[in-house]
Amino acid sequence: RVVTLDMSATVAGTKYRGEFEERLKKVIEEIRSSGNVLLFIDEVHTLVGAGAAEGAIDAANILKPALARGELQCVGATTIDEYRKNIEKDAALERRFQP
């Protein structure tokens, strides 16, 4: 089963610190518990900085642990320029994705 994560919908309406992280963690947990799910993220470069407010964690840092532990399978689409500009700058994130 393929599940698409819409980053703009996930961020929409989050006013307070922690709301975005909570939403994204719920999505990850649901995917993890469902098993056999492939997460698709269009414009995957938007993970970097998404939902980050003062003192908050961005989407990339929320997803990295689950990706590193193999709890989450993810495919992302972006341009090579955006990949280089956003994904390659984060060595830990780059290890989880390949161009």
Tell me the pLDDT of the chain averaged across its residues: 85
pLDDT-based confidence at residue 38 (cuts at 50, 70, 90)? very high
pLDDT-based confidence at residue 39 (cuts at 50, 70, 90)? very high
Domain boundaries, position 74: 2-96
Residue 13 has what pLDDT?
A: 80
Domain count, the chain: 1
Contact call for residues 53 and 21 (beta carbons, < 8 A): no
pTM of the full structure:
0.80
pLDDT-based confidence at residue 8 (cuts at 50, 70, 90)? confident
CATH number, domain at 48?
3.40.50.300
Q: How far apart are CA 55 and CA 28, in angstroms?
A: 21
pLDDT over 80 (residue 70): yes
